Structure 1
Amino acid sequence: MKGPDRPNNRRGASGAWNRLKPLRDDSLEAYGLPSKGETRLNDFNTQETYYNRIVERYMRFCASTNNTSDLDASFASLSLSSTASTKQFQSSNPELNHQRPLNPSPSNDLPAILNALRKLREAITATARKDVFAQRAYIFNIRVAILCKDWESYIPALLHLLNTIHPKTPLSATEVHDYVGYLILDQVCRQGDFGGAHETRLRYRYKDRRVQLVLRALVMDNWVVFWKMKRAVDGYQRRIMEYAEQRMRLHALKCLGKSYMSADRGYIERVADKGWAALVEEDSVGWELKDTDRVIIRKPKSK
């Protein structure tokens, strides 16, 4: 026979469960995309608060890495042009939309940061904001997206910054030079649009010896100058140049294959701007390594 206190006990347990606090959501996921109907980010103060959260998360992410090499590896691991874009990241991990951790792991922050920057960028555009805040937010977006090689973020941001915000809230001469340079490098290194790059250069009266040498090296397939300039430019320019490096490397290896029977390992590594082990593993170079420092490229045809 059931005791009279059993139902009360069950209600007590249920009440205890109801009093448990839900997990706190990720602050960067508090808003949806304005293009999908989100309107809360139309408030200027909300935009600025959200921007501060994004910057804070980004700084925390950078501080979480042990050294510069680890930080570079984190950016390099995020190939947004193929399988690791923010949208694809979320669609391939649907549980992330419902089970957000109390303190998101810094290693997973880059997709969330890029997605949040897209929301902020859409909100700024929707409210036709062209003030100093909009300028700074777009600059931050461009820099982060370039390091992540997320051209789908930095190209529209670059164009909006130069064509819409800059006429109303002018950038400094140095800033104009920097961001026009990024646009030109993207046009030649990623898009292969040399005519568009020339037009951009004329429009802004852009002059930069290193960028000009990059353009010339790509036109003439001069890998020596290309690798030299890749080491000479700043980190953002170098990141954009990476779009063209595989094409230059492949051309250099083909030239070696047609011109040499054998060559020193060090020479091949300098020509390809890559270590021998990586060339074999990542580029499927099938040449034979002899005595650790001599590479047999072709063998004489037997008579």
Structure 2
Amino acid sequence: MSWNVYLRRYWQLYALLALPLAYFVIFKYGPMYGIQIAFKDFNFFQGIEGSEWIGLEAFRDIFRMRDFYITLRNTLMLNFLDLLVSFPAPLILAILLYEMRLVWFKKLSQTILYIPHFISWVIIGGIVYQVFGTQSGMINNVVTALGFDAIPFLTDKGYWLTTYLAVGVWQSAGWGTIIYLAALTGINKELFEAAGIDGAGRLRRIWHITLPGLKPTILVLLIINLGHMISIGFERPYVIGNLAVREYSDVLSTFVYRVGLESGQYTLATAVGLFQAVVGLVFVLGANYASKKLTDESIM
């Protein structure tokens, strides 16, 4: 079948594909034009084309900045801890929801778990300060009323780190279960029935059927998460963080905000963003290569 005949027959599919393609071209590939700011002494009034070319000077300046290495360390540390804590949470929740027999309770649980994903991080930050605040937080009000010292959830670095990870799990775990639940529906039900007839308990069915059935999905999501190790969202560390814990809460995204928007050093901010993108690409390709060699599963 020639391509023009195929196009006439399935033109509706290509029409549907036009919108997502336009989105990626306009909002993903179009902004790549601004990458050259990282190699120029950008002047807002002269524009990108009129600014002087400085080559790799911005990258040399960044690698000489102590704050850059602190924020890079914090970014890797927080993302690694998130990978350890937040990555397994949706998987565990999805298996628990899948194993539930009460349909009404299962639907109610899913609704409650999904809600935090739709709440703005600004609102979540307000909730965090109302619940975990040292002076007026709900938990510390109870703790001090019982005669104990207030717990510095948001001012002590160790407590702040625990609070940061816990809030991240609460906000994202429910939404992350959707992918795993979709993958679980693709597992042949007859496998569970046969295992039950052979005397396998629920835990054995999960270990020998559910987890192997989810293996491709787990590996794909793990590779994608490893690709984000060098990048981190701005809202969560910025909203929950404060000066008392800045040694842990200051990450690359807040560094870019401080250097680029507050200080007006757009060249340095763009250089940091490009650095994140390149290292993230290396992480994705490396994780994909390792996965393909070790498990014969990959995303490309």
TM-score relative to the length of structure 2: 0.20
TM-score relative to the length of structure 1: 0.20
Kindly name which structure, 1 or 2, has the bigger radius of gyration based on alpha carbons. 1
